[in-house]
């Protein structure tokens, strides 16, 4: 017999099929698309997006959700949560008129094109009018969606359900005081040597070594694959087909290696989501912050640790004897953890990284509040880089034009990157506490206990618990910045002999 809940599952499964189909088209666009195919591919994606949207805001579906909510007593805890989350999303989506959604799509297309043009011209002035239009649109969106305390809250909510300015102001206050103070101390110490990381590392060998890294982490190649793309990313077509991409620069080994590990971390999360919950909130990643916690945990807490390389370095030296046979493990470890302020967010070390995010957070908040205009944005950007990182911005491409996010209208996205690192530190602290021999295991080359903990405590739940509840359930408390500071202070005091 078909119950309301099974009807609901069917509809979500259909929507998921469409979303994953879009994901395939998107992946193919980034990995395979011949030059002339872009326009038609854009149109095909738009058609699928339109159909998906129609299914998601369908009135009959709304009625079904209403009925399920009213008769929720027949449902299990997980089922109730699923319906609750879907109904929330439904009601949110319903607040945006078709006209607004179409306008948004148009403005986004224009804004992205303006960003491309501005990048080509290396000139923010080319981007500014379109960005201004985008910011006004996002302000309208905050009004349509409604917000309780701060309009930026509802923008962050899109990427990190429940995130608030109140929470982030506190978090970034810690970044500004504790982290900045610590980083200043490091910057006064003699610098470590990392020139050997920019020797020539053969492309094919790098490719194969990247695959080995993924295998070491436990990434399942029967349920995924790696390909090359200009910007590395992870994408899921369902838990049984989760793909990662990487890029290879023959003179930047670190770029390939830690991008592999980073995307591998994202990939493991998606492969670990319960495929029995296909399309349901309980089968989907929780928030972008939690997604990023998975990639950062593998990239930094595991992948830039001395223990990990104790288990891996001999193999790496054997793969690249010319470049590394004379480099000791300790020298290698220091090099891959070099701390140095730099202009580009994505090339930053794991400490300065959060200053890049802090800057973007403050600027976005001010734009949405209306206390900063896009006209003044560039000078504000440049001033903050001088202030927080001590750097002069050379040109717009190395400054305000470096990120794609604003051109897509993804305001409220950046803070989730920092959140990911902070959650990662807290999770990894507990993993070590929960698993007595874990460091020995990692040093012997076996990271399976890390994956196993993440599978059980994070991946298996999907969205069944909200972020705070999940964090409490798995670590005993909600997010606490202290874990990150402890991790950083302990690690870098040793590397820089503080």
Interacting residue ranges for its own copies, rule: CB under 8 A = 13-14, 17-18, 20-21, 24-25, 28, 32-37, 39-41, 43-44, 46-48, 51, 220-225, 237-238, 240-241, 275, 278
| Maximal C-alpha separation, the chain | 72
Instruction: Please report which helix (H) or strand (E) contains residue 234, including its range.
Output: strand 234-236
Measured from the CB atom, the residue of 31 and 329 that comes closer to its own copies is 31
Considering the complex, what minimum distance in angstroms separates the CB of residue 39 from its own copies?
A: 7
Q: Which residues of 54-89 are buried (b: 16+ CB within 10 A; e: fewer)?
A: eebbeeebbebbeebeeeeeebeebbbbbbbbbbee
Catalytic residue, candidates 19, 160, 263, 362: 263
Considering the complex, what minimum distance in angstroms separates the CB of residue 258 from its own copies?
A: 24
Q: What's the rounded Cα separation, in Å, for the pair 102 and 307?
A: 51
Considering the complex, what minimum distance in angstroms separates the CB of residue 244 from its own copies?
A: 12
Of 446, 448, 442, the closest CA to residue 268 belongs to: 448
Q: What's the rounded Cα separation, in Å, for the pair 279 and 269?
A: 15
DSSP class of residue 478?
S
Dihedral over alpha carbons 206, 212, 215, 221 (to 10 degrees): 60
Q: What's the rounded Cα separation, in Å, for the pair 200 and 397?
A: 27
Q: Is 263 an annotated catalytic residue?
A: yes
Residues 6+ apart with CB under 8 A from 414: 357, 360, 361, 364, 405
Q: What's the rounded Cα separation, in Å, for the pair 209 and 320?
A: 10
Measured from the CB atom, the residue of 237 and 492 that comes closer to its own copies is 237
Considering the complex, what minimum distance in angstroms separates the CB of residue 290 from its own copies?
A: 23
Q: What angle do CA 127, 133, 136 make, to 5 degrees?
A: 135
Measured from the CB atom, the residue of 151 and 232 that comes closer to its own copies is 232
Measured from the CB atom, the residue of 258 and 278 that comes closer to its own copies is 278
Considering the complex, what minimum distance in angstroms separates the CB of residue 131 from its own copies?
A: 30
Query: What are the tokens at 377?
Result: 């944005």
Measured from the CB atom, the residue of 218 and 238 that comes closer to its own copies is 238
**What is the gyration radius of the CA atoms in the chain, in angstroms?**
23
CB 260 within 8 Å of CB 213: yes
Q: What's the rounded Cα separation, in Å, for the pair 73 and 59?
A: 23
Measured from the CB atom, the residue of 232 and 311 that comes closer to its own copies is 232
Measured from the CB atom, the residue of 229 and 435 that comes closer to its own copies is 229
Considering the complex, what minimum distance in angstroms separates the CB of residue 18 from its own copies?
A: 7
Considering the complex, what minimum distance in angstroms separates the CB of residue 58 from its own copies?
A: 13
Write out the catalytic residue numbers: 263
């Amino acid at each position: 017999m078909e119950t309301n809940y099974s009807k609901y599952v069917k509809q979500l499964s259909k929507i998921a099929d469409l979303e994953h189909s879009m994901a395939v088209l998107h992946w193919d666009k980034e990995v395979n698309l011949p030059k002339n195919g872009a326009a038609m591919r854009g149109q095909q994606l738009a058609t699928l997006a339109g159909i998906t949207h129609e299914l998601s805001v369908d009135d009959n579906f709304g009625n079904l959700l209403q009925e399920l909510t009213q008769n929720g007593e027949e449902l299990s805890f997980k089922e109730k949560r699923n319906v609750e989350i879907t109904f929330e999303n439904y009601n949110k989506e319903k607040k945006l008129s078709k006209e607004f959604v179409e306008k948004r799509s148009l403005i986004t297309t224009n804004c992205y094109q303006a960003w491309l043009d501005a990048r080509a011209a290396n000139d923010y002035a080319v981007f500014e009018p379109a960005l201004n239009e985008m910011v006004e649109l996002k302000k309208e969106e905050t009004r349509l969606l409604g917000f309780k305390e701060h309009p930026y809250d509802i923008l962050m909510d899109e990427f990190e359900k429940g995130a608030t300015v109140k929470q982030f102001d506190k978090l970034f206050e810690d970044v500004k005081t504790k982290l900045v103070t610590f980083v200043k101390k490091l910057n006064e110490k003699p610098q470590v040597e990392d020139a050997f990381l920019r020797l020539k590392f053969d492309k094919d060998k790098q490719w194969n070594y990247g695959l080995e890294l993924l295998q070491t982490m436990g990434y399942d190649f029967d349920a995924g694959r790696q390909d090359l793309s200009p910007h590395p990313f992870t994408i899921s077509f369902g838990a049984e087909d989760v793909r990662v991409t990487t890029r290879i620069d023959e003179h930047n080994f670190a770029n390939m290696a830690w991008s592999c590990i980073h995307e591998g971390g994202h990939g493991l999360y998606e492969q670990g989501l319960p495929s029995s919950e296909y399309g349901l909130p309980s089968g989907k990643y929780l928030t972008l912050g939690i997604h990023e916690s998975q990639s950062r945990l593998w990239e930094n807490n595991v992948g830039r640790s001395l223990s990990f390389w104790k288990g891996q370095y001999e193999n790496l030296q054997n793969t690249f004897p010319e470049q590394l046979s004379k480099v000791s493990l300790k020298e290698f470890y220091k090099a891959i953890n070099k701390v140095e302020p730099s202009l580009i967010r994505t090339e930053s070390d794991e400490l300065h990284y959060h200053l890049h995010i802090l800057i973007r957070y403050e600027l976005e908040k001010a734009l949405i509040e209306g206390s900063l205009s896009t006209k003044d944005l560039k000078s504000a950007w440049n001033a903050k880089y001088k202030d927080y990182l001590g750097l002069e911005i050379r040109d717009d491409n190395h400054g305000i034009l470096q990120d794609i996010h604003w051109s897509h209208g993804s305001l409220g996205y950046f803070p989730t990157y920092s959140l990911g690192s902070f959650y990662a530190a807290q999770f990894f602290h507990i993993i070590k506490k929960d698993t007595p021999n874990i460091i020995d295991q990692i040093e012997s080359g076996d990271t399976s206990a890390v994956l196993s903990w993440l599978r059980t405590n994070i991946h298996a739940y999907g969205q069944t618990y909200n972020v705070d509840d999940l964090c409490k359930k798995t670590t005993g408390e909600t997010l606490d910045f202290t874990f990150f500071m402890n991790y950083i202070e302990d690690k870098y005091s040793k590397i820089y002999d503080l």
